[in-house]
Amino acid sequence: MDRIAEINRVTKETELRLTLNLDGRGEARLNYPIGFMAHVLTAFARHGLFDLDLRAVGDLEVDQHHLVEDTGIVLGQAFDKALGERRGIRRVGTCLLPMDETLARAAVDLSGRPFLVFQGELSNLPLVSGTASFQTDTIEDFWQGFSAGARINLHLDILRGRSDHHKIEALFKAAARALRDAAETDPRSADMIPSTKGVLV
């Protein structure tokens, strides 16, 4: 069964149209107005081997918060929809990912119960490149929206690091690897819900 989901979200603040294939090749096709977010979403797709097609606009004249948070919500909802009953999945995944001076850790349980623990150790200062900048304080909002939309338990930690760029990118890569492992089907339990309760909720 194809694990593909399409989510459209239109509000007075943002408009997002997203298609996700959990069993893809890591290809990202993005029309996204925030350059740094496009960068880390591309890395997320590649490291998770998720195919991601995303078109987004938002009220950037206000700030970046609404669009970044809604992107997390929509991406999470797509994961939830693509996973379906979550039958046969491994359910749990972890990754310890080094990126230069930074070491990131991600642990995920596709439990059906949303919870986020985020220890990103970010400065909350903007990343600046030429005339563009990125609000690093929106990253926790992204992952809060993602974990709620996907209905997952997600722990993200920076164990060490200096550069906010590296910290954020390493977290996206680590999360993608952990999610990829958790979402993979286990041939030993292909027809089973991975819970003693018989349901993930």
Q: Which fold has domain 4-189?
A: Ribosomal Protein S5; domain 2 (3.30.230)
In this prediction, residue 186 carries a pLDDT of 86
90-99 average pLDDT score: 97
Task: Give the DSSP H/E element, type plus range, for residue 143.
Answer: helix 139-150
In this prediction, residue 195 carries a pLDDT of 63
Residues 6+ apart with CB under 8 A from 131: none
Whole-structure pTM value? 0.95
pLDDT band at 94 (very low <50, low <70, confident <90, very high): very high
Neighbour count for residue 169 (Cβ, 10 Å): 21
Task: Name the region of 10 (left: φ>0; alpha: ψ -120 to 50; beta: rest).
Answer: beta
pLDDT digits 0-9 by tens, 138-191: 999 999 999 999 999 999 999 999 999 999 999 999 999 999 999 999 888 777
| Calpha distance 150→172 (Å, rounded) | 15
